[in-house]
Structure 1
Amino acid sequence: MRRTVITGPTGVIGHALIDECIRNKVEVYALCHPGSKRMADLPSHDLLHVVYVDISRLSDAGNMIPKEIDTFYHLGWTGTFGDARNDMYLQNRNIKYALDAVELARCCGCHTFVGAGSQAEYGRFEGKLRPSTPAFPESGYGMAKLCAGEMTRMQARKYGMKHIWARILSVYGPCGKKETMVMSTIIKFLHREKPSFTKGEQVWDYLYAKDAGGILFALGGEKSVDGKIYCLGSGLTRPLKEYIEKIRDAIDPSLPVGLGELPYSPEQVMYLCADNTDIIHDLGYEYRYSFEEGIKETVEWCKSRMMAH
């Protein structure tokens, strides 16, 4: 891989993927929303080229990108949090944008298309998530991701393009959105506030962003299998309350934790874990970070951001 295009580059996963590309001396064309407030988080590097284009107008980028691109990563998606996840018209538009991404990939001469799916495609399931696990999404977001994965696969096949769909579980790290459990918890602890939680009995799989970036980079290479779905997670689980306590301990072990102060939601997922057999077998990927190591780096990043502001 020599050149790649990335949509959604300013998110936690996009940022980590860019770092991984640069580390491997791969040239990146990052398609950014005009006026994005998160642009400042992108690194300044000769290998990184920012192209301003709205996700609804991806075809406009055709004349701004060279025609010799190897891999196209489609991470961009609108309406990922809150009520927007069940805005069916908005989520339906995301399916079109995903297909537009395949068209742009073809225009750029890409041989590989990697799309970002989600655990939400499965709905609730008590067991390790595998590509073969039945998918019964319960949100418009999950339904649209499932549909986008299937449609982009067919479209890529029509163009003779390799297609990889990465169903991504819970990723945390620098540049993560403040609405996520990990980032909101870090921010509250750093402000010496007591965050409120459920009992934290959910059994969960968390993947550090740098490992997510490393896996996605590998998926865009030669070792991944065309047409395959890969579940991106650490493959390791702990009760959520243990993760919360580890976050607290990385900041100040004496801080109070409000476990049990909130009820579980009716749609609460109680078990989440990826079967990462294919990631290890196909890619030969070796995980680089424990949760403790990832949280330490994330806390330091949050501290630096607070000092900067």
Structure 2
Amino acid sequence: MNIERRTLITGATGFIGHCLARRLVETGAEVWAGVFPGEPPERVEGLPEEVRRIPLDVRDGESVDRAVARCKPEVVFHLAAVGVTDPGVTPFAALAVNVVGTIHLLESLQKQAIRRIVLVGTCYEYGAREAPEGLDPFNFYAASKVAAWAFARAYWRAFCLPVVVARPFQVYGPDQPPHTLVPSAIHAALAGEDFPMTPGEQKRDFIYVEDVVEGLLTAATTPSIQGQSLDLGTGQVHSVRRVVERIWEITGARGRILPGALAYRPGEVMPLAADADRTARL
């Protein structure tokens, strides 16, 4: 999947953003990375040398305008967000970055000859699916992503901005934050440490980060899907406990798995599976 166009990535120094930047360079794209001014230097240095860095703080509309005017993107991947791995993010921080930041970007892109905007959401927007609307966020991060989706769709309706929303499910792979499930379990297993965890009954749709990136590229290049929302997952679920047990089996770990040592997060959702068939049809 090739995108030989001028491309802007917000959140390029994050877990998925790093992988996406590398893949876009491979396709021959001219890649610009929007870099938050306070980003740790090692995260910026980890980007491919071919990627052009540009200061970008989505909370500041003028910063967004300057970055967009400078790189003049044809394709945009919007990954910049707070709360991805922090369930305690405040509603004010989530609103400022995930909602207002998205609006700043959409406003700025109206002035450009933009071909596609891929807005990255989250599977947690679905929550327990107990609301009749089909979206049922259970924390402030997920709620802010629902709001960002609503604004993106409104901009598509009102101004024909070519927005596509992609919702990754349980992403894992190299360079993932070390405190998240899979890397923290691997670390404990290799170190011979005990691994305290929740009862682990949550069922998640695990998808490798490189497969997510291919899904994002597909969302950026498939014609006639503007305004649509796509799930990026396999459609198959595995319990969190079983995933940890499998890591123990593969590594021959000597430490103990301690299910139930940690409580579930408030409002924890048990099953979350992507509608992979619908995504394939689109």
TM-score (norm 2): 0.87
Tell me the distance in 1 between the aligned counterparts of 2:88 and 2:276. Answer: 30
Question: Corresponding residue for 2:99?
Answer: 95
- Could you say what secondary structure the match of 1:258 adopts? strand
**Of 19, 28, 32, the match for 1:25:** 28
Alpha-carbon offset, residue 133 of structure 1: 6.6
Structure 1 residues 124, 25: closer, same or farther in 2, change over 3 A?
same
Question: Corresponding residue for 2:159?
Answer: 159
Question: Corresponding residue for 1:307?
Answer: none
Alpha-carbon offset, residue 116 of structure 1: 1.2
Does the CA-based 8 Å contact 2:138-2:268 persist in structure 1? no
TM-score (norm 1): 0.80
Question: Corresponding residue for 2:193?
Answer: 193
1:70 paired to 2:74: yes
Alpha-carbon offset, residue 221 of structure 1: 0.7
Structure 1 residues 121, 61: closer, same or farther in 2, change over 3 A?
closer
Alpha-carbon displacement from aligned partner over 1:214-261 (angstroms, at most 9, x marks no partner): 100110113461111111212121222221122233433444322343
Alpha-carbon displacement from aligned partner over 1:261-283 (angstroms, at most 9, x marks no partner): 3344452221111111133222x
Tell me the distance in 2 between the aligned counterparts of 1:265 and 1:83. Answer: 8
Whichever residue aligns with residue 39 of structure 1, its letter is V
Tell me which moved more, 4-13 or 75-84.
75-84
Structure 1 residues 266, 35: closer, same or farther in 2, change over 3 A?
closer
Question: Corresponding residue for 2:120?
Answer: 116
1:13 paired to 2:10: no
- Please give the root-mean-square deviation of Cα atoms over the aligned residues, in Å: 2.3
Tell me the distance in 2 between the aligned counterparts of 1:52 and 1:249. Answer: 44
Alpha-carbon offset, residue 100 of structure 1: 0.8
Question: Corresponding residue for 2:178?
Answer: 178
Alpha-carbon offset, residue 40 of structure 1: 2.8
Structure 1 residues 262, 63: closer, same or farther in 2, change over 3 A?
closer
Q: Percent identity?
A: 27
Whichever residue aligns with residue 181 of structure 1, its letter is L
Tell me the distance in 1 between the aligned counterparts of 2:71 and 2:57. Answer: 20
Does the CA-based 8 Å contact 2:129-2:135 persist in structure 1? no
5+ long unaligned stretches in structure 1? 127-131, 283-309
Whichever residue aligns with residue 41 of structure 1, its letter is G
Does the CA-based 8 Å contact 1:169-1:206 persist in structure 2? yes
How many residue pairs get aligned? The number is 274
Structure 1 residues 182, 92: closer, same or farther in 2, change over 3 A?
same
Whichever residue aligns with residue 99 of structure 1, its letter is I
Matches within 5 A, 1:1-309: 1=3, 2-37=5-40, 38-45=43-50, 48-57=51-60, 59-64=62-67, 66=70, 68-82=72-86, 84-85=88-89, 87-93=90-96, 94-125=98-129, 134-223=134-223, 225-282=225-282
Alpha-carbon offset, residue 192 of structure 1: 2.5
- Could you say what secondary structure the match of 1:241 adopts? helix
Whichever residue aligns with residue 26 of structure 1, its letter is A
